Structure formats: C-alpha cells, structure tokens
Chain A
Amino acid sequence: QKEVEQNSGPLSVPEGAIASLNCTYSDRGSQSFFWYRQYSGKSPELIMFIYSNGDKEDGRFTAQLNKASQYVSLLIRDSQPSDSATYLCVMDSSYKLIFGSGTRLLVRP
C-alpha cells in the first residue's frame, strides 16, 4: 500500500467550476499535510498546508483534513486554465515529505 494515494486523473473541469482533488494516507500519526502544484517541466510549488481537522481557506483554495478517515482534499473554486497542472498531496513524516504520485487537472476554457 502506498503511503499517500491519489487518483492520477486527468480530472477535467470547465473554466469557472469547482475542482475537487482528493487523497488518502496510511500513517495515522502524521500531523501535517501539504498540497503542491507542479506545472509540466517545472518544480513543485507549495499551495497550502493544513495541520488541524476541518477546513482551511486561502483565496480560491480550500484544504480539508479528516484525520479519522485519513483523508485530505483540495478544492479550487472558479477554476482557471492557468490552474491546469499536476497537484501533489504530501504528508510530513518527521524529517521528510512523502509525496503522492499526483492528480493531473485540466481546466477547459
């Protein structure tokens, strides 16, 4: 079982819609989770981090964490074509980050 599981996609949504990206993780002891965005041929960049159960909002982005279900999600409101990228769900495991394999998001104009 992979430590961080994501659907590879692609997830295709029309411009202006809400994109919902999900992941599950295996380590119940993990406390911190991150979402990174990676454009093709580029390095990952941090979008959001979340430590507590519930929702965390930052602009068009909302991260959700449910530790009981070991589930993390990222909602992108008013999706734009520039949001088209691979989104990596990441779990903090002491000194290292454990990345999922990413979900590819396509936002259709």
Chain B
Amino acid sequence: ETGVTQSPTHLIKTRGQQVTLRCSSQSGHNTVSWYQQALGQGPQFIFQYYREEENGRGNFPPRFSGLQFPNYSSELNVNALELDDSALYLCASSGDTGELFFGEGSRLTVL
C-alpha cells in the first residue's frame, strides 16, 4: 500500500473520445509523474508536475495533458483517443527523497 490512489481502475472508450484519469498523491508528496505502460513493455514517462507546474515531459503528443492541484492531486487528460492509447496508466508521487511510489494504475481500453 503506497498511499497513492488512482481512479478509475478500468475504463473503456472509443476512438476519438476524451478521457480524464485521476490520482491522489501520498500525503506530503509535492511531485507527481505519469507513466504509460503498454502490454509487455516497461512504463514510459509521460510528464511530471511539481507544485502545479509541468517540469518535464516525455515523447508524447500534445493531446496528452495534465494538471496538478494545490492539494497535489493530479489529472491526466487524453484527447482524440487512438487504439494505441490502450494501456495501463500509472501515477507516481514522490517527496524530498525522490523515491517514486506508484498507484495501482488505470487500465484504459480504446475500441
């Protein structure tokens, strides 16, 4: 149990739709990162937020966007969904030590 909670745990969307995934960080953690894990692959870094500002981004198109709120919870938004967006989306929070604590993920299926 890491104290990082994500919702929803599973969801199904169709191509072209939009999705919002949510993450509640572990208490005291001011940094949140989002990763995409396709089946059989390792997690791929999407972006990171620190105190409500994006401070790092991976190789993902602009239709992947995020927010971090004053309570350090976070959202990942994906517009114009594509079939290849089907994956497990992992949120991880970290504090001063830098160690990442992962939530259990949101499994997105795009049909």
Chain A interface (Cβ < 8 Å from any Cβ of B): 4, 8, 42-46, 88, 90, 94-102
Residues of B within 8 A of A (CB): 2, 33, 35, 40-45, 48, 55-56, 58, 90, 99-100, 102-105
| Chain B residues closer than 8 Å to A44, beta-carbon distance | 43, 90, 102
In the bound complex, how far is the Cα of B104 from the Cα of A4, in angstroms? 23
Q: Give the A-B pair count, Cβ closer than 8 A.
A: 42
Instruction: Given A94-B56, A95-B56, A96-B56, check contact A46 B99 (CB 8 Å).
Output: yes
CB distance from A103 to the nearest CB of B (A): 10
| A95 B55 Cβ-Cβ under 8 A | yes
Q: Does B33 lie within 8 Å of A96, measured CB to CB?
A: yes
- B103 near A43: Cβ-Cβ < 8 Å: yes
Given A90-B42, A101-B41, A102-B42, 16 more contacts at CB 8 Å?
A4-B42, A43-B90, A43-B104, A43-B105, A45-B102, A46-B99, A46-B100, A95-B56, A96-B48, A96-B56, A97-B43, A97-B45, A97-B100, A99-B42, A100-B42, A102-B41
User: Are B56 and A99 within 8 A (Cβ)?
Assistant: no
Inter-chain contacts of A43 with B (CB < 8 A): 2, 90, 102-105
How far apart are the CA atoms of A90 and B90 in the complex, in Å? 15
Contact A96 B45 (CB under 8 A): yes
On whether the beta carbons of B42 and A101 are closer than 8 Å, the reply is yes
Nearest-CB residue, chain B, relative to A99: B42
A91 to B35, CA, bound (A): 14
* Partner among B2, B40, B103, B105 whose Cβ is within 8 Å of the Cβ of A101: B40
Interface hub of A97, A98, A100 (most chain B Cβ within 10 A): A97
